[in-house]
Amino acid sequence: MDTNDKPTLVVDGLAFAEGPRWHEGKLWFSDFYTHEVKCIDADGKVGTVATVPGQPSGLGWLPDGRLLVVSMTDRRLLRQDGDKLTLVADLAGLAPFHCNDMVVDRHGRAYIGNFGFDLVAKETPRPTVLIMVTPDGKAQVAAENLLFPNGCVITPDERTLVVAETFGKRLTAFDIADDGFLSNRRVWAELGDAFPDGICLDAEGAIWVASPTTSEFLRVHEGGKISSRIPSEQQAIACALGGSDGKTLYMVTGRVGRADKSLAERTGKILSLRVDVAGAAW
């Protein structure tokens, strides 16, 4: 990647986008405040895939190809069956506040984060849990005492899960057992002033991190070394690696704020930039 390269605009006019995923030749994402899951095809055409009244966030897919989507404000995991959304699991008994990002493994197990507190009301941050939902709909705590568990990745060997602790200002890793349970918690990288939001993993084991507070996308290595920084004109919200060769970094930007203001201003964008290392993991 040439540090002088300028990002290309993919789409703008979004209320507040999150959860980008490259899947089957398309870029998928959630637009919180329009309550829509959208995708962009190879020709740049944007289509609406699903409408989620409780605000969509994290996206993933079951082994049979059906879409899973996190419904934020009512704290539920939904599955798209044809033209309708079906409840997979009610997470309200485990998540104390809005749910957010998610990663789904090849078995269909979904790992889902949540705020843990009312961010918009400026409550004091407090620890919460990472939730695992099995394909049969059983929801259980996978990890405790996390400060705003957000973006997650699973390594290609399926043995390690890394989660962004937004208010912990770190990436935290766990070993994944055969049954999906997590153990051997450890700090993967301390991030200084960066509050990590969405993340994605590349084939060299580095993690791209969206940092809203510093308005940049960081390529971080285990231990905390930062090898690339891409500044953003707005807050950096989330990222995904995709494209035909996996070397296009999709960068979601916007402004964290109230729904009414976001809907009125429509400042959300997705930009792209070619990078040297392709994406990896789930």
Sequence-distant (≥ 6) Cβ neighbours of residue 134 within 8 angstroms: 108, 109, 180
Domain presence at residue 281: no
Structure tokens at 241: 């690696």
What whole-number distance in Å separates Cα of residue 221 and Cα of residue 211? 15
What is the model's pLDDT at position 150?
A: 98
Q: Is residue 1 part of a domain?
A: no
Report how many helices (DSSP H) and strands (DSSP E) the chain contains, helices first. Answer: 1, 24
Query: What is the pTM for the complete model shown?
Result: 0.96
* Structural domain contains residue 282: no
Instruction: Retrieve residue 249's tokens.
Output: 């970094």
pLDDT of residue 156: 96
Q: What is the pLDDT of residue 102?
A: 98
User: 2 in a domain, yes or no?
Assistant: no
Report pLDDT for 42.
83
Rounded Cα–Cα distance for residues 55 and 138 (Å): 22
Provide the terminal-to-terminal Cα distance of the chain, rounded to the nearest Å: 23
Q: Which amino acid is at 249?
A: L
Q: What is the pLDDT along the chain (282 residues), one digit of tens a residue?
A: 655 689 999 999 999 999 999 999 999 999 999 999 999 998 889 999 999 999 999 999 999 999 999 999 999 999 999 999 999 999 999 999 999 999 999 999 999 999 998 887 788 999 999 999 999 999 999 999 999 999 999 999 999 999 999 999 999 999 999 999 999 999 999 999 999 999 999 999 999 999 999 999 999 999 999 999 999 999 999 999 999 999 999 999 998 777 777 788 799 999 999 999 999 976
Give the pLDDT score at 43. 86
Position 152 scores a pLDDT of 98
Confirm whether 239 is domain-assigned.
yes
With respect to residue 104, please indicate whether it lies within any of the assigned structural domains.
yes
Give the integer Cα–Cα distance in Å for 8 and 194. Answer: 24
Give CA–CA dist 74/114, Å, rounded: 12
Q: How far is it, in rounded angstroms, from Cα 234 to Cα 117?
A: 24
pLDDT at 123: 83
CA atoms of 78 and 85, how far apart (whole Å) = 6
Question: What is the rounded distance in angstroms from the CA atom of residue 56 to the CA atom of residue 77?
Answer: 10
Q: Are 205 and 108 in contact (CB under 8 A)?
A: no
CATH code, domain with 75: 2.120.10.30
How many angstroms separate the Cα of 123 from the Cα of each of 57, 97, 113, 116, 120?
21, 11, 18, 10, 8
**What is the pLDDT at residue 121?**
75
The one-letter amino acid code at 166 reads T
- 3-state SS of 196-243? CCCEEEECCCCEEEEECCCCEEEEECCCCCEEEEEECCCEEEEEEEEC
pLDDT tens readout for residues 105-164: 999 999 999 999 888 778 899 999 999 999 999 999 999 999 999 999 999 999 999 999
For the record, the structure tokens of 115 come out as 């705020």
Number of structural domains the chain divides into: 1
Q: Specify the amino acid at residue 173.
A: A
Contact 180, 107 (CB under 8 A): yes
Residues of the domain holding 29: 8-274
pLDDT at 228: 98
CA distance 124 to 109: 31
